[in-house]
Amino acid sequence: METVAIFGVGLIGGSFALALRHAGFKGVILGVSSPRTIEQAVALRVIDAGVDEETAARQADLIYLAQPIHEILNSIARLNPWVKPEALVTDAGSTKTAVTQHASRYLRRCEFLGGHPLAGKETAGVSSAEPQLFQGRKYVVTPFHSEQLAVTAVRNFLIWLDKIGAVRVVLDPAEHDRAVAYTSHVPQLAATALALALKNSGANLDVFGPGVLDMTRLAMSPFSVWKDILETNSSEIRSALSIYIAALQRLTDAVGSEDMRNQFEQGADLARQLRGSKLFRGVE
Amino acid sequence: METVAIFGVGLIGGSFALALRHAGFKGVILGVSSPRTIEQAVALRVIDAGVDEETAARQADLIYLAQPIHEILNSIARLNPWVKPEALVTDAGSTKTAVTQHASRYLRRCEFLGGHPLAGKETAGVSSAEPQLFQGRKYVVTPFHSEQLAVTAVRNFLIWLDKIGAVRVVLDPAEHDRAVAYTSHVPQLAATALALALKNSGANLDVFGPGVLDMTRLAMSPFSVWKDILETNSSEIRSALSIYIAALQRLTDAVGSEDMRNQFEQGADLARQLRGSKLFRGVE
């Protein structure tokens, strides 16, 4: 692997570039981003140079798509005529079914591997990028089939994931999207809905404790981050929301009854289980 | 005010005793609690002595009920024959309608004022008590009618609330209970329901980020804290849960549509509004 092209040199793309360097990558790192981001990324020595997407795709052994999901989809639809046959294209989008389906349709001339690094920061942009961002974090990869992991270009990428300290998790794209519907997308919508319920309640909002602040923090997430996620995982999200609403309805029925104790205890078990899992130590 | 009796010398009751001392109270502070707690509270110099409830009630100018709600209700039902007519009984329970109705029925020989200090800590018990616990925190009082605030015993208590640094909020008991149904009780149940939905989902819970940890933290609250709250505010809680479920159903309908942006923006506004309020600075 001599040339890497990062499409979307933001927090994730920039951190991946820095992490590669930090782990000993000696080749060229190209960036495809807006002129302003390229200028910043070159000045910060995150990338070696900015180029257009065709130039990047023709030279790269690894193409790392770290754009918003709809731009990842657009890039995938355009790359095929330019890519080297031995290259790997991978992405860092938060949903995987739409992206991998798109890749299997449009990207026929080289290998594609879907990816989702469970890494992030409060601040975005290349100026927040750091080489340690993936260290100890889970990094989900979603091959089309398990044999794909033995293909040379894929195997090399996985070795680099190990070198940058990421903890690999292999999942089917649909299993990934179903999991994040519950563990990420519904929690976001639960927070937004709670904020909306407070707004609609007409209740005196002078009186509250710290719990509601925990429970509405996610409601401040910008919609720009969520638009593509919601659009590309809508059926799993609707189904997970219906399970959540059903759990709330059972709790409503249990208010004032002995069954409530049982439900609290089951909920507490799960909350502790999440915190005890290896993953939590990874992504905290 | 020469003698104060604290019923339930835990975190709140013990902190109230320490706060009074710290603010210059020179009289006697009696405690009514389990023998073990009394021993600890005397050793820590939180109270001067432990006595039985009749002795406490016969001597006290201020009776401060800082027990679990069902014990507050029991105490109120027993105190009437013993209290001094010029005394004030007040409580620190998290719901106010049941307590104030109970007091208006059973406590005829002296004044009663409902209260709810929005103060707390992760740890419970008299060993966690501290004189600064109420400093800058909202302290809701729920008089039967506004003229009650001019009654001498009540006025004296309110002056002590000022002296211990609490920020007084006067609310009608029903308005208080409606507000906390939205700002405290539904957030708790929303977290418990999310944990239950995750448990019931069958989804792969290896994959998650920090958001779901925020959203399930409250699910670890012990049921013992919530049992009385849920039982004494069940009708407001059921009604607030139905508003929350309706908000989730509207979000479900909006998944993948342009209306989602509008809902995110409204939710974000409310979340920021909570954080900008004076109260937040008080109770963080």
Shortest Cα distance, chain A CAs vs residue B177, angstroms: 10
Yes or no: say if B61 and B2 are a contact pair by the CB < 8 Å rule.
yes
Q: Which residues of B204-216 are buried (b: 16+ CB within 10 A; e: fewer)?
A: bbbbbbbbbbbbb
- pLDDT one-digit tens code per residue, B147-190: 999 999 999 999 999 999 999 999 999 999 999 999 999 999 99
Q: What's the rounded Cα separation, in Å, for the pair A272 and A177?
A: 23
Q: Which residues of B touch A185 (CB under 8 A)?
A: none
Residue found under tokens 């939710």: B267
Return all residues near A130 (Cβ < 8 A) that are at least 6 apart: A15, A18
**Within a 10 A sphere around the Cβ of A127, how many other Cβ atoms?**
15
**What residue type is assigned to position A179 of the chain?**
A
| Torsion angle of the four alpha carbons A74, A235, A217, A208, in this order, in degrees rounded to the nearest 10 | 160
User: B203 at the A interface (CB within 8 A)?
Assistant: yes
Q: Which of residues 261-280 of A touch B (CB under 8 A)?
A: 261, 263-275, 277, 279-280
Which residues lie below 8 Å from residue A37, measured CB to CB, with a gap of 6+?
A9, A10, A31, A125, A126
Report pTM: 0.92
User: How far is Cα A78 from Cα A99, in angstroms, rounded to an integer?
Assistant: 13
Q: Is B194 in Cβ contact with A190 (below 8 Å)?
A: yes
Instruction: Extract the residue ranges of chain B whose pLDDT is less than 50.
Output: 278-284
Q: Would strands B111-117 and B138-142 be described as parallel, antiparallel, or unpaired? A: antiparallel
Distance CA A10, CA A31 (A): 10
Judged by CB atoms closer than 8 Å, whether chains meet at B206 and A175 is answered as: no
Where are chain B's structural domains?
3-171, 175-283
**Residue A243 contacts residue B284 (beta carbons within 8 Å):** no
A186–B268 C-beta distance less than 8 A: no
The answer to whether the Cβ–Cβ distance between A193 and B238 falls below 8 Å is no
Please, which residues 157-176 of chain B have a Cβ atom closer than 8 Å to chain A?
A: 169, 171, 175-176
Residues 74-133 of chain A whose Cβ lies under 8 A from any Cβ of chain B: 116, 118, 120
pLDDT in tens, chain A (284 residues): 999 999 999 999 999 999 999 999 999 999 999 999 999 999 999 999 999 999 999 999 999 999 999 999 999 999 999 999 999 999 999 999 999 999 999 999 999 999 999 988 878 899 999 999 999 999 999 999 999 999 999 999 999 999 999 999 999 999 999 999 999 999 999 999 999 999 999 899 989 888 999 999 999 999 999 999 999 999 999 999 999 999 999 999 999 899 999 999 999 999 999 998 644 443 33
Q: Terminal CA-to-CA distance of chain A, rounded, Å?
A: 32
What pLDDT sits at residue B277?
65
With beta carbons under 8 A apart, name residues in chain A contacting B240.
197, 201, 203
Our CA-based measurement puts residue B210 at a distance from the nearest CA of chain A, in whole angstroms, of 6
Q: Which helix (H) or strand (E) holds A28?
A: strand A28-32
From residue A115, alpha-carbon distances to A9, A58, A144, A169 in Å are 16, 22, 12, 10
Contact B193 A227 (CB under 8 A): no
> Is there a contact between A208 and B184 (Cβ–Cβ < 8 Å)?
yes
Task: Flag whether residue B146 sits within 8 Å of chain A, measured between CB atoms.
Answer: no
CB contact at 8 A, A4 and A29: yes
pLDDT at A277: 64
What number does CATH give the domain B175-283? 1.10.3660.10
Q: What does the alpha-carbon distance between residue A224 and residue B261 come to, in Å, rounded to a whole number?
A: 9
Q: Is B251 on the interface with A (CB under 8 A)?
A: yes
Between the alpha carbon of residue B280 and those of residues A75, A145, A204, A211, B221, the distances in Å are: 45, 51, 14, 11, 21
CB A10 within 8 A of CB A70: no
Of A184, A194, A201, the CB nearest to B209: A184
* pLDDT score, position A210: 84
CB environment B157-190: b (16+ within 10 A), e (fewer): bbebbeebbbbebebbbebbbbbbbbbbbbbbbb
Query: Is residue A188 within 8 angstroms of chain B, CB to CB?
Result: yes
Alpha carbon distance A65, A67 (integer Å): 6
Residue A123, helix vs strand vs coil: coil
Phi/psi at B83 (5° precision) = -70, 150
Q: Note whether B197 contacts A244, CB cutoff 8 Å.
A: yes
Measured between CB atoms, does A221 come within 8 Å of chain B? Answer: yes
Instruction: Check for a shared fold between A3-171 and A175-283.
Output: no
**Per-residue model confidence as pLDDT tens digits over B113-133:** 999 999 988 788 999 999 999
**Could B179 and A248 be called an inter-chain contact, meaning their C-beta atoms sit closer than 8 Å?**
no
ipTM over 0.85: yes
Q: Which residues pair with A138 in a beta bridge?
A: A167
Assigned architecture for domain B3-171: 3-Layer(aba) Sandwich (3.40)
Residue pair B94/B119 in contact by the 8 Å Cβ criterion: no
Say yes or no: A184 contacts chain B, CB-CB below 8 A.
yes
